[in-house]
Structure 1
Amino acid sequence: MAGRQRRYTDDVPDDATDRLRAMCLALPETHEQRAWVGTRWMVRKRTFAHVLGIEFDGDASVAVVSFRSEGEELEVLRRSGHPYLDLGWGRDAMGIVLEDADWSEVAELVTESFCIMAPKMLVALVDRPLDETP
């Protein structure tokens, strides 16, 4: 999907928005807001997840959730290809096409995105898998 012409839309299935809403609003001190297109979830004034439709070269719109990533995970996601895509805005913004996504992976990515964007005192309140590095 890299290099293809993109057009952003509000074309997102209600069930996808509802699932994301439940995930995002379960995190501490988050709120939902209508975005320039689609819906976004924020912690304080920082967006950590954003669902929107993207048309590539005039094809049918696909629902995508954007999230933040960093470090090795960001580099792996950039090289992974479909269903992941580099959105091209912000140094750490990635997206995942929802129709082909594993929702447990989406929940993990959204939670990690929250932890990147949130203050440390809020991150401490989030249940995350233990770091398995020695």
Structure 2
Amino acid sequence: MARAPVTEALLAQVAAVLDDLPETRRERAWTGTRWVVRGHNVAHLFGGEDGLVRVTFRAPMDEVAAFEHLGHPYFRVGRSGDVVGLVLDDDPGVDPAELSELLTESYCVQAPGELVDRVDRPAT
């Protein structure tokens, strides 16, 4: 089965959050698109062979288990580490403010402190 295509709208939604963060670079990944800061993955947007589009991101370790227990549309990537994922193409879709918060937090997990200090974090 072919991988689900990432729509321009989903790519634009993720890029709107990540492209302007300090020293973040968008690049082609083995599949889909990823964003990195100083060589560290911040997020990876891709279509799966099951027809669903996902974004993976980093979360503070004390929040990883919470995402895992929330269940769909969230999922944990692997059994260790801080990588979490979110299915993006379910109806009615993900809240843009929530996605912005998750991606910004992922950046703050991965970026060095001097870059994090330059980021306006969404209010929670």
State whether TM-score is above 0.5: yes
Partner residue of 1:30 out of 11, 14, 24: 24
Aligned residues: 121
Structural mapping, 1:1-134, within 5 Å = 9=3, 11-56=5-50, 61-88=51-78, 91-99=81-89, 100-129=93-122
Shift of 1:33: 0.4
Structure 1 runs (4+) deviating above 3 angstroms are 7-10
Shift of 1:130: 6.5
What letter is aligned with 2:114? M
Rg: which structure is higher?
A: 1
CA-based RMSD of the aligned residues comes to: 2.1
Instruction: Please report the TM-score for the alignment, with normalisation by the length of structure 2.
Output: 0.87
Shift of 1:89: 7.5
As a proportion of its length, which structure holds more strand?
A: 1
Shift of 1:8: 8.6
C-alpha spacing 1:76/1:8, structure 2 compared with 1 (3 Å): farther
Render the CA deviation track for 1:29-53: whole Å, top value 9, x for unaligned: 1110000100001111011011001
Structure 2 regions of 5+ residues with no counterpart? none
Instruction: Please report the TM-score for the alignment, with normalisation by the length of structure 1.
Output: 0.81
| C-alpha contact (below 8 Å) 1:8/1:37 kept by paired residues | no
Mapped partners of 1:32, 1:96: distance in 2:
19
Mapped partners of 1:105, 1:95: distance in 2:
13
Structure 1 regions of 5+ residues with no counterpart? 1-6
What is the percentage of aligned positions where both structures have the same residue? 40
